[in-house]
Amino acid sequence: MAIPSEILAVVRPKGTVVKYVKGHYYVVKRTSKYVKGRRVPVDLGIIGSIVDGKYVERQTPVLNY
């Protein structure tokens, strides 16, 4: 399912992506690493969510989910 453009337009920290899981939009911190000379994206953990069109930071981030 594609993420709506109004959800992607919400201001959030740099280096993050939005993922949709069971009716919620989560903000996930992302980086990359090199494997055999190719760059591979790596999700680090959930750092917040988007609720009512605003970014809401989690008090305790879920790292390496």
| Residue 63, both tokens | 């790292």
> 36 φ, ψ to 5°?
55, 40
According to DSSP, the β-strands at 38-51 and 24-35 are antiparallel
pLDDT in tens, 11-24: 999 999 999 999 99
At residue 65, the pLDDT reads 62
pLDDT in tens, 14-58: 999 999 999 999 999 999 999 999 999 999 999 999 999 999 999
| Residue 64, both tokens | 């390496």
Between the alpha carbon of residue 48 and those of residues 8, 29, 33, 35, the distances in Å are: 14, 9, 23, 28
C-beta of residue 48 within 8 angstroms of C-beta of residue 12? yes
* pTM for the model: 0.86
